[in-house]
Amino acid sequence: MTKQIRNLGVFLACCYTALFLQVNRLTVFQADELRNDPRNNRAVVRDFSRPRGTIETVDGVVVAQSVESDDRFKLQREYPTKDLFAHVTGFFAFQLGSAGVERTYNDELAGRTINFSLKELGDLFVDRERVGNITLSLRNDVQTVARDALAGRNGSVVALDPRNGEILALYSNPSYDPNVLANHDFTAAAAASDELNNNPERPTRARTYMERKPPGSTFKIVTATGGIEHGGVTADSPSYPVQSEYSAASFGRPIGNFGGGSCGGTLFPILQESCNTAFAQMGVENAKALGMTASAEAFGFNDAPPIDLPGGVRSVWPTEAVASDPPRLAQSSIGQFEVAATPLQMALVAAAVANGGKIMTPHVMREVRDDQDDVVDRFDPSVWTTAMEPDTAELLRQAMISVVTDGTARALDDDVEDNIVVGGKTGTAQIGSSDSSHAWIIGFAGPEGEPPSVAVAVIVEAQEGVSEQTGGRVAAPIGAAVLGQALTAPTQAGATASN
Amino acid sequence: MNYASRRTTELGLLVLGSMFVVGAYLLASLPDDSPIPTKVGPFLGLTVGLPLAAHVAMRRLAPQADGMLLPLASLLNGLGYVFIVRLDEARDTPRGLAGLQSLWMILGVGAFVATLMVVRDARKLERYRYTAGFVGLVLLLMPLLPGIGRVINGSRIWVSIGPVNFQPGEFAKLALAVFFAGYLIEKRELLAINRAFGPFALPDPKHLGPVLIAWAVALVVMVSQRDLGSSLLFFTLFLVLIWVATERASYLVVGILLFSGGAYFAYQSFSHVRERVELWGGFWALIGPAGDKVTQIDQAAFAMADGGWGGRGLGLGTPTNIPVVESDFIYAAIVEELGLFGAAAVLIAFLLMIGAGLRIAQQAASGFERLLATGLTTLLGFQAFIIMAGVVRLLPLTGVTLPFISYGGSSLLANYVLLALLLRISDDIAKRQSDQLAAHQLTEVVG
Residue B293 sits in the same domain as residue B419? yes
* Residue range of the domain that includes B330: 1-118+285-447
Res. B51: pLDDT tops 90? yes
Res. B74: pLDDT tops 70? yes
What residues 55-114 of chain B have any CB closer than 8 A to a CB of chain A?
90, 92
Residue B314 sits in the same domain as residue B440? yes
When CB atoms are compared, the residue of A1, A40, A71 closest to B302 is A40
Contact A439, A459 (CB under 8 A): yes
Torsion of CA A41, A47, A50, A52, to 10 degrees: -150
Catalytic member of A217, A274, A333, A437: A217
Q: Which residues in chain A have their CB less than 8 angstroms from residue B233's CB? A: none
Question: In this structure, is residue B280 part of a structural domain?
Answer: no
B131 CB within 8 Å of a chain A CB: no
List strand residue ranges (DSSP E) for A87-213, in order: 92-93, 97-98, 133-136, 155-160, 167-173
CA distance B166 to chain A (A): 29
Residue B308 sits in the same domain as residue B249? no
Residue B26 sits in the same domain as residue B92? yes
Which stretch of DSSP H or E encloses residue A423? strand A420-430
How many interchain CB pairs under 8 A, A with B?
131
Specify the 3-state DSSP secondary structure of A166: strand
A62-68/B155-161 β-pairing: unpaired
Question: In this structure, is residue B162 part of a structural domain?
Answer: yes
Chain-chain contact of B294 with A13 (C-beta, under 8 angstroms): no
**Percentage, residues of chain B above pLDDT 90:** 47
Q: What angle do CA A268, A273, A278 make, to 5 degrees?
A: 75
Among B203, B237, B269, identify where a domain stops: B269
Residue B372 sits in the same domain as residue B254? no
Contact B104, B413 (CB under 8 A): yes
Among B237, B269, B301, identify where a domain stops: B269
Mean pLDDT, rounded, for B178-191: 89
User: What structural domains does chain A harbor?
Assistant: 216-364+382-487 (3.40.710.10)
A217 is catalytic: yes
When CB atoms are compared, the residue of A22, A37, A46 closest to B392 is A22
**A127 to chain B: closest CA residue:** B33
What's the confidence (pLDDT) of residue B283?
75
Contact A215, A440 (CB under 8 A): yes
Contact B295, B396 (CB under 8 A): no
Res. B380: pLDDT tops 90? yes
Q: A238 preceded by cis ω (within 30°)?
A: yes
CA distance A262 to A285: 19
**A71 to chain B: closest CA residue:** B92
What is the DSSP secondary structure assignment for residue A155, as one 8-state letter? E
B309 CB within 8 Å of a chain A CB: yes
What residues 313-332 of chain B have any CB closer than 8 A to a CB of chain A?
318, 320-321
Question: In this structure, is residue B427 part of a structural domain?
Answer: yes
Q: Which residues in chain B have their CB less than 8 angstroms from residue A4's CB? A: 243-244, 247
**B354 to chain A: closest CA residue:** A9
HSE (side-chain half, CA atoms, 13 Å) at B153: 11
Question: In this structure, is residue B429 part of a structural domain?
Answer: yes
What's the confidence (pLDDT) of residue A121?
55
CA distance A22 to B394: 7
Contact B182, B368 (CB under 8 A): yes
Of B164, B75, B166, B69, the closest CA to residue B116 belongs to B69
What is the DSSP secondary structure assignment for residue B36, as one 8-state letter? S
When CB atoms are compared, the residue of B305, B344, B370 closest to A20 is B344
What's the confidence (pLDDT) of residue A219?
96
What residues 385-404 of chain B have any CB closer than 8 A to a CB of chain A?
385, 388-389, 392-394
Amino acid code (one letter) for A311: G
Q: Which residues in chain B have their CB less than 8 angstroms from residue A72's CB? A: 90, 92, 318, 320
Among B206, B237, B269, identify where a domain stops: B269
What's the confidence (pLDDT) of residue A499?
37
Res. B200: pLDDT tops 70? no
Amino acid code (one letter) for A491: T
Find the radius of gyration of the CA atoms of chain A. 28
Question: In this structure, is residue B413 part of a structural domain?
Answer: yes
CA distance B285 to A122: 44
What's the confidence (pLDDT) of residue A282?
95
Q: Which residues in chain B have their CB less than 8 angstroms from residue A38's CB? A: 292
Mean pLDDT, rounded, for B322-342: 91
- In this prediction the pTM is 0.66
Residue B233 sits in the same domain as residue B130? yes
DSSP bridge pairs for A157 = A171, A458
When CB atoms are compared, the residue of B321, B351, B374 closest to A5 is B374
What residues 361-380 of chain B have any CB closer than 8 A to a CB of chain A?
361-362, 367, 370-371, 374, 378
Residue B440 sits in the same domain as residue B349? yes
What's the confidence (pLDDT) of residue B119?
93
**B249 to chain A: closest CA residue:** A4
Which residues of chain A have a Cβ shorter than 8 Å from any chain B Cβ?
Answer: 1-6, 8-9, 12-13, 15-16, 18-20, 22-28, 30-35, 37-40, 42, 45-46, 49, 70-72
Q: Which residues in chain A have their CB less than 8 angstroms from residue B374's CB? A: 1, 5, 8
List Cα–Cα distances, A244 to A275, A403, B8, in angstroms. 9, 21, 112
Question: In this structure, is residue B211 part of a structural domain?
Answer: yes
What's the confidence (pLDDT) of residue A466?
66
Mean pLDDT, rounded, for B242-259: 89
Question: In this structure, is residue B392 part of a structural domain?
Answer: yes
When CB atoms are compared, the residue of A13, A25, A38 closest to B351 is A13
What's the confidence (pLDDT) of residue A229?
94
Interface test with B, best of A16, A37, A72 (most B CBs within 10 A): A16
What's the confidence (pLDDT) of residue A130?
75
* pLDDT band for position B447 (cuts 50, 70, 90): low
CA distance A103 to B442: 86
How do residues B19-31 score in pLDDT, each as one tens digit?
999 888 888 877 6
What's the confidence (pLDDT) of residue B113?
97
Phi, psi values for residue A248, rounded to 5° = -80, -25
Residue B73 sits in the same domain as residue B99? yes
DSSP class per residue in B346-371? HHHHHHHHHHHHHHHHHH-SSHHHHH
Torsion of CA A63, A64, A69, A72, to 10 degrees: 160
* Interacting residues of A469 by C-beta distance below 8 A, sequence separation 6+: A258, A408, A428
* Interacting residues of B340 by C-beta distance below 8 A, sequence separation 6+: A23, A24, A27, A28, B307, B308, B309, B310, B311
* Interacting residues of A11 by C-beta distance below 8 A, sequence separation 6+: none
CA distance A59 to B78: 55
DSSP class per residue in A347-414? HHHHHHHHTTTEEEPPBSEEEEE-TTS-EEEE----EEEE-S-HHHHHHHHHHHHHHHHHSTTGGGGT
Residue B176 sits in the same domain as residue B63? no
Walk along chain A (499 residues) and give the pLDDT tens digit of each residue: 889 999 999 999 999 999 999 999 999 998 888 887 777 777 777 777 788 899 999 999 999 999 888 777 778 899 999 999 999 999 988 777 788 999 889 888 888 775 655 555 555 555 556 788 999 999 999 999 999 999 999 999 999 999 999 999 999 999 999 999 988 888 888 899 889 989 999 999 999 999 999 999 999 999 999 999 999 999 998 999 999 899 888 787 888 887 778 899 999 999 998 999 999 999 999 999 999 999 999 999 999 999 999 989 999 999 999 988 999 999 999 999 899 999 999 999 999 999 999 999 999 999 998 877 888 889 999 999 999 999 999 999 999 999 999 988 888 888 888 889 999 999 988 887 777 889 999 999 999 889 999 999 999 998 876 666 677 888 999 999 999 999 998 877 644 433 3
The sign of the CA dihedral A453, A383, A347, A165 is: negative
B270 CB within 8 Å of a chain A CB: no
CA distance A35 to chain B (A): 6
Chain-chain contact of B244 with A72 (C-beta, under 8 angstroms): no
Of A81, A56, A78, the closest CA to residue A67 belongs to A78
Q: Which residues in chain A have their CB less than 8 angstroms from residue B378's CB? A: 8, 12
What's the confidence (pLDDT) of residue A497?
39
Residue B100 sits in the same domain as residue B184? no
Question: In this structure, is residue B277 part of a structural domain?
Answer: no
What's the confidence (pLDDT) of residue A496?
42
B343 CB within 8 Å of a chain A CB: yes
CA distance A290 to B28: 70
DSSP class per residue in A434-496? SSEEEEEEEEEEEETTS---EEEEEEEEEEE--STHHIIIIIHHHHHHHHHHHHSPPPP-SSS
Q: A174 preceded by cis ω (within 30°)?
A: yes
List strand residue ranges (DSSP E) for B221-340, in order: none
List Cα–Cα distances, A290 to A221, A298, A299, A325, A332, in angstroms. 17, 12, 14, 12, 13
Amino acid code (one letter) for B289: P
What's the confidence (pLDDT) of residue A495?
43
* pLDDT band for position B42 (cuts 50, 70, 90): confident
Residue B261 sits in the same domain as residue B298? no
Phi-psi region of A185 (alpha: psi -120 to 50; beta: other; left: phi over 0): beta
Residue B191 sits in the same domain as residue B241? yes
Count: domains in chain B: 2
Of B172, B151, B269, the closest CA to residue B218 belongs to B172
